[in-house]
Amino acid sequence: MPEPLRPAPAKLYGRRNWIFIPTIASVTLAPTVAEATGASAIDITNIAFSDGAPNPTAETTLVETERRFGDTLVYEGIGETKYGGGDLTYAFDAQGVAASNPVKLWEKWLNVSGAVTGFLADRQNVARASAITAGQFLHVYPVEIGPSMPGLKGEGATAEGAATCKFAITAQPAFKIAVLT
């Protein structure tokens, strides 16, 4: 019998980016390089706090088959899957100049009349300072970003300005989607 497969680990420490992409034209959710890197997109990797970064979840229920009169055994099956968002906490400077780095994400997501829609893309196992190129793979989540609330992160000497918002996954995510040219 041949040796069992043992893939090398896909190490993510320092090799992961979260990018907010406002629009993706492809119905398969495959962004182009221009969509993922354009002026309207923003890489939030070094803006989001590590314990406040996007952390999408998936929860699939198990359902029990309906027992029939003569059945002595009942089985399970796969039920509904729910994709969930959560909280996202990011650096924010209330005294920052308009369009400067400390307020870019705040300004992009500021919408007092409702949610901001777009896509959160998770690029893994590529050095975080590397440019996005065609052929790289992303996990893409259609999202709504709720209003941000200014606050702080940390306490005492480590406290810094921050903002927190909720994000919701609004449609079927696309996993391991190649970036297009």
Asked if residue 4 belongs to a domain, the reply is no
Asked if residue 76 belongs to a domain, the reply is no
Asked if residue 25 belongs to a domain, the reply is yes
Asked if residue 134 belongs to a domain, the reply is yes
Q: What is the pLDDT of residue 167?
A: 97
Closest CA to 175 of 38, 30, 12: 30
Give the DSSP letter string of 160-180.
EEEEEEEEEE-S--EEEEEPB
CB 103 within 8 A of CB 84: no
Q: What's the Rg (C-alpha) of the chain?
A: 20
Q: What is the pLDDT of residue 112?
A: 66
| Contact residues for 65 (Cβ-Cβ < 8 A; gap 6+) | 74, 75, 76, 77
The CA distance from 41 to 34, in Å, is: 9
| Residue environment code for 137-154, b if the CB has 16+ CB neighbours within 10 A, otherwise e | bbbbbbbebbbbeeeebe
pTM recorded for the entire structure: 0.93
Chain-centroid distance of CA 139 in Å reads: 8
Asked if residue 74 belongs to a domain, the reply is no
Asked if residue 70 belongs to a domain, the reply is no
Domains of the chain: total: 1
Range of the domain at 51: 16-57+84-178
Asked if residue 106 belongs to a domain, the reply is yes
Closest CA to 84 of 175, 167, 177: 167
Q: What is the pLDDT along the chain (181 residues), one digit of tens a residue?
A: 899 999 999 999 999 999 999 999 999 999 999 999 999 999 999 999 999 999 999 999 999 999 999 999 999 999 999 999 999 999 999 999 999 999 999 999 986 667 899 999 999 999 999 999 999 999 999 999 999 999 999 999 999 999 999 999 999 999 999 999 9
Q: CB neighbours (10 Å) of residue 89?
A: 21
